[in-house]
Structure 1
């Protein structure tokens, strides 16, 4: 007989284990402490604190492992997707839409969201915010390596970053969101581009196209 766990992905198994630890720490341990105290056991506060410390450490280790497993394909493909088709920020001539690397980030995160949500909605923000924190840090590094922007390249960068912020802002910690906002200000002619009707029109088209996927992020419970 085939074990049902054989059909689960590695990330799904990790999230299930992580969810079990989180649930135990939040609900089972306090309940056990109360039961032992009701039966007159002494020294439970110290025992509980030690167990809580252990569970916190394991929780963090599990979260880091989950984050790493989900991030691996993102980081592996991000730069290649950004520069697909020999794209060059310095010679880019015309902006027509948000670049595909942004779409891939949103679509891939939507799949991550679905997998985690199927196990626990309470973990969605926790995991997605960690993933996005690392992704945004990587984007900041990639953009900092760009030596020159054409006028169109500058608008393209602003459009891409704003699109990412608009679609995934609810899944970000404030620090991550602020990094994106700071990144935009470092793009040449950013203030002019942000006010551009052309950019606004392309952004609205993109948001409409991505609505079937980005709508899932609207229900993310920020913690």
Structure 2
């Protein structure tokens, strides 16, 4: 089968032939036959070129080098867009209508076929991303993460060779998905429009739906990988050493199980932040939702609290809630509220004072570790 490039060359030759024959005053019905042939060739050229593009995009996954820039992106979205642009650029002459020629897209059947092929191309790339997210660890030897240290303007990018974990790959693909949704897919829609493709809205809608579905699935996978161990550690941690809410000593501070949970949440923050700062709020808010929901469930399962037990529980719930305040959602706020409502109210001013003192002591002792949970300061205004 002739390639798109060859077909474009044939079309050019046919057009020149048509021009020459027109000058010879040949009957219109004969010329029309040539015009019909040229149109058929133009349509065929578009189809073949798009099919070739689809094959080329299938191979893009092999070109993923996992080198992440300061925005948390690899070169793959850019390579994808360039591939589409090159393909459309090669069709520029074919899509242009010479005098007397009809549009390639005049037939509804052609419009639909081109639309479906375009959707197919976009979905192939989404499938590439899915393949990359599920690559076995052995298939990825090293990667370069570009760390943004203080100021990239001053220090540039620092590249380190490290082995990628499956979780890091998930994050990188997620980061690429976000960029594709916000930029690349919209850019490609503009390129299609510039070349007079039809059904662009449908192409964009279907492609975006596939991308968002993948994004959500990968995001849920990542949250499951990260949140489940933290959630699972809460109950054993709470009841370690045969702890009993009905029979416990006056609280002297936040217990280790909660500190360990926070350290594990900090580790998630660090992993996400290293790859994509933009993903941090999305990931952390979901992890916090899962942890707060479990804490609420555990509190509601307690049959009764002693005064000391209620104070200890309130201290730990408030410590966690206050620490992750910047990542609270309506769901996690509701969980914390339900957890606190499961406790007896503080009966005296002394209890409230002790609670406040112990909370402050906790925040002070873990100040360094908890810094990552603080809201980012607004950028300084130039004066």
Q: Secondary structure at the match of 1:40?
A: coil
| TM-score, scaled to structure 2 | 0.55
Tell me, yes or no, if structure 1 residue 203 matches structure 2 residue 359: yes
User: Any unmatched runs of 5+ in structure 2?
Assistant: 1-139, 144-161, 378-383
| Maintained 8 Å contact 1:93/1:150 | no
What does residue 170 of structure 1 align with?
326
Once the two structures are TM-superposed, the CA of residue 220 in structure 1 deviates from its matched residue by: 6.2
The within-5 A match list for 1:1-223 is 3-4=141-142, 7-190=163-346, 192=348, 196-219=352-375
Once the two structures are TM-superposed, the CA of residue 194 in structure 1 deviates from its matched residue by: 9.6
RMSD: 2.0
| Maintained 8 Å contact 2:252/2:358 | yes
Once the two structures are TM-superposed, the CA of residue 167 in structure 1 deviates from its matched residue by: 0.3
Specify which structure has the higher proportion of helix.
1
| Pair 1:81–1:53, CA change in 2 (3 A) | same
- Residues in 2 aligned to 1:94 and 1:118: alpha-carbon distance in whole angstroms: 41
Deviations 1:201-222 (A, max 9, x none): 110010011211111111469x
| Maintained 8 Å contact 1:158/1:193 | no
| Maintained 8 Å contact 2:254/2:362 | yes
Deviations 1:39-72 (A, max 9, x none): 2211111110010111111111011000011023
Once the two structures are TM-superposed, the CA of residue 83 in structure 1 deviates from its matched residue by: 1.1
**Number of residue-to-residue matches in the alignment:** 220
- Residues in 1 aligned to 2:200 and 2:257: alpha-carbon distance in whole angstroms: 53
Once the two structures are TM-superposed, the CA of residue 9 in structure 1 deviates from its matched residue by: 2.0
| Maintained 8 Å contact 1:159/1:199 | yes
| TM-score, scaled to structure 1 | 0.92
